[in-house]
Amino acid sequence: MVDYDNYIDALIEKDNQAFEVIYESTRKGVFSIIISIVSNKAVTEDLMQDTYMKMIERIHQYKRGKNFYAWLLQIAKNTALDYYRKEKRMNVYDPQQHEYLFDSEYTESNDFAVLDMVKSLEEEEKQVVLLRVVSDLKFKEIASVLERPIGTILWIYNKAIKKLQEENLGKE
């Protein structure tokens, strides 16, 4: 686990090596939160870039000792929600649009194959499952990112998992 606070000064100084460390350790989470909202690869890539640019611009606002990862994921979530509201797009699943889920670019260990499996979940369920399964966040961290009580997050996660299990039983 990266101690992000050790990289804050370097980020302020625009150190590329520090940025790379931060990027590599957070990109799956940032990708997960954005894709769960916008459901479009090209838009997600653009919004990821915007998220990291905002992180650099706002690095002075981060309070050391707090959860940097949750802070960054909140920026990603807000960036995606701003885009979503601005574009007023409906999140309709289009299988052709999601063919990238199995691209080698994003599937170093097939972490993103789960995206296709969660397509039927509601947006908040999708976010919780992706943050837990793909990004390996603890429920407490997910609660912080999504600004919801931990009990609610656990309930949403369990409800989503039951839905997925029922769907899989229906396919057999």
Residue range 10-30: average pLDDT? 91
Structure confidence at residue 6 (pLDDT): 86
Residue 101: pLDDT over 50: no
Q: How far apart are CA 130 and CA 119, in angstroms?
A: 11
Domain count, the chain: 1
Residue 102: pLDDT over 70: no
Helices (H), the chain: 8-12, 16-38, 41-57, 68-87, 114-117, 123-133, 139-146, 150-171
Domain of 17 in residue numbering reads as: 4-171
